[in-house]
Structure 1
Amino acid sequence: MSASDARNPLFVPLIAVGGSLFGFGLAYSGMARPEVVLDFLQLQDLGLLFVMGGAAAVTGTVITLATRHLDHAPLTGDRYGKRERSFDRSVLLGGAVFGVGWGISGLCPGSAYASLGIGNYPILLGIAGMFLGAYAQGYWRAYRQETDRTATPSD
């Protein structure tokens, strides 16, 4: 049995509560409005810096305490460990594309969903674009893997 099969029954409800708190915080702070995010990116309103800094401080504190005092995650049963991910071209390129999209639209996934909660329904176009972009990237990656597997070395 894998650790995911032994998840605590509170796992899904707590994820929903955490997501709701996240969305409420974004909406309450005004960061669910794309124009506020664009003002931040143009260095006209640095409020997002304080919102992100506060979230990073709380998250960092909880992760530091949890990994220091617990041997496994309480809800999933998974052992804590460092995720090994190399800093390669795909990480750099993906981050750059994400940043350009964020700068053009003023949307990141979290603020886009929170924006729906405050009644900004035209944002659905931006969310559809995120899904389309993610799908296109997945399709492209699968195509590349398939062509790499079928290519034969020329000795």
Structure 2
Amino acid sequence: MLRVVSAALIGLVFGIGIVVSGMANPAKVLNFFDVFGTWDPSLMLVMASALVVTFVGYRFVLKRQAPAFDRTFHLPTKRNLDVPLIAGSALFGIGWGIAGFCPGGAIPALGSGELSPLIFVAAMIGGILGANGLRAAFARRRVLA
């Protein structure tokens, strides 16, 4: 139960941070990418702040034997760059540049009552399901070959 409560509180703090920083507003994000127009460099400050918090936080937290509400840390073990990672990163960046939303900004923006974050989240869920379906189809194809 404490795991669920702590995850909800962490999500709430993250969502509040996204809203306060303006990252739930796609116009603010798109203005960051408009270098020759209405450029808004504040996204760099948000990203730099997130990097500093993450850098310090990981060093502090990973000194512990285990997380507070789990037996082990669940850290990525994959170290190589492969096609799915590069393609996924490119699609993420392209989608962010076109829509002005990333998952972290779109989910808190659902509370705005506007249609655009709802469309984005629905498309994101469709993309996740489609990617999982493709991955499963390719895995089955490899087994049959």
TM over 0.5: yes
Distance in 2 (alpha carbons) for counterparts of 1:84 and 1:98: 19
**Which residues in structure 2 correspond to 1:113-128 (within 5 Å)?**
113-128=107-122
Larger radius of gyration between Structure 1 and Structure 2: 1
The answer to whether structure 1 residue 46 and structure 2 residue 38 are counterparts is no
Residue aligning to 2:98:
104
1:79-112 deviations in Å (ceiling 9; x for gaps): 5766233211211111111111111111110100
SS of 1:15's partner is helix
Match of 1:25 in 2: 17
2:139: which partner in 1? 145
Match of 2:62 among 63, 67, 80: 67
Distance in 2, matches of 1:80 and 1:94, equals: 21
Partner of 1:110, secondary structure, is helix
1:86 paired residue among 76, 80, 87: 80
Say yes or no: does 1:95 pair with 2:80.
Answer: no
Provide the rounded CA distance (Å) in 2 between the counterparts of 1:122 and 1:96. Answer: 22
Where has structure 1 moved over 6 Å in runs of 4 or more? Answer: none
Give yes or no for contact 1:72–1:80 (8 Å, CA) kept in 2: no
Q: Percent identity?
A: 33
Kindly indicate whether residue 30 of structure 2 is the aligned counterpart of residue 35 of structure 1.
no
CA RMSD of superposed structures (Å): 1.6
Unaligned runs of 5+ residues in structure 2 are none
Report the Cα distance in structure 2 between the residues aligned to 1:17 and 1:150, rounded to whole angstroms: 45
Report how many residues are paired: 142
C-alpha spacing 1:103/1:33, structure 2 compared with 1 (3 Å): same
Aligned-residue offset at 1:120: 2.7
Displacement of 1:119 after TM fit?
Answer: 3.2
d(CA) in 2 for partners of 1:80, 1:25: 24
Cα pair 1:107 1:126 within 8 Å, conserved: yes
| Deviation per residue, 1:16-74 (Å, 9 max, x gap) | 11111111111112110111111112231111111121122112211101223x11112
Question: Residue 51 of structure 2 corresponds to which residue in structure 1?
Answer: 56
TM-score (norm 1): 0.84
